[in-house]
Amino acid sequence: MRYNKVKDLIEWAEGFHRRMAQQYSEAADKTDNERLQMALTYLASQEIQMQKGLNGLFHDGTDHKEVLETWFDESSDFPEPPELEQMAEKSVEGSVDEITRAAVETHTRLQKFYEHRALRSRIEPEATFFNSLAEGHEAQTRKLVTSMQEFEDI
């Protein structure tokens, strides 16, 4: 389907964060390494927080309705960008450093995805909306790196 609404993208992103949270939680349950378990549990909680934040856009009382109902033209594999879908399916294992790199890559790609949508926006509120999401992901990535470094130091 070439034509989608912004809300379709937000619903997809919400599901993406939910899948990532589940992936991190399952990996935390399987590991015997306490530091790794804490790091994975932290990542899962951050993904749930982001998922809830996106869900809140539908219910937060602000007027995002105009933007959420905006139609846009995109390729047929949208709103599931193949590279992000592949990341949601990868197994999570390795050291805290390896998991941090994978989490940062995921957030960076999602940020770039939002920036792409902002650039292709046809109305200013839509561009502002996606730029805000991209900036939020950038800030979340910085926080994630700082927090994960603390797990590395434990």
What confidence score (pLDDT) does residue 89 get?
A: 61
What kind of architecture, by CATH, is found in domain 6-153?
Answer: Up-down Bundle (1.20)
Question: 38 is written with which tokens?
Answer: 């804490």
Q: Which helix (H) or strand (E) holds 99?
A: helix 96-120
Question: 74 is written with which tokens?
Answer: 């995109």
Instruction: Please give the Cα distance from 75 to 82 (Å, whole number).
Output: 12
What confidence score (pLDDT) does residue 39 get?
A: 93
Mean pLDDT in each 10-residue stretch from start to end of the chain (154 residues)? 80 91 92 92 96 88 79 65 60 81 90 90 91 94 91 72
pTM, rounded to two decimals = 0.86
CB proximity list for 138: less than 8 A, separation 6 or greater: 111
Sketch the domain layout of the chain as residue ranges: 6-153
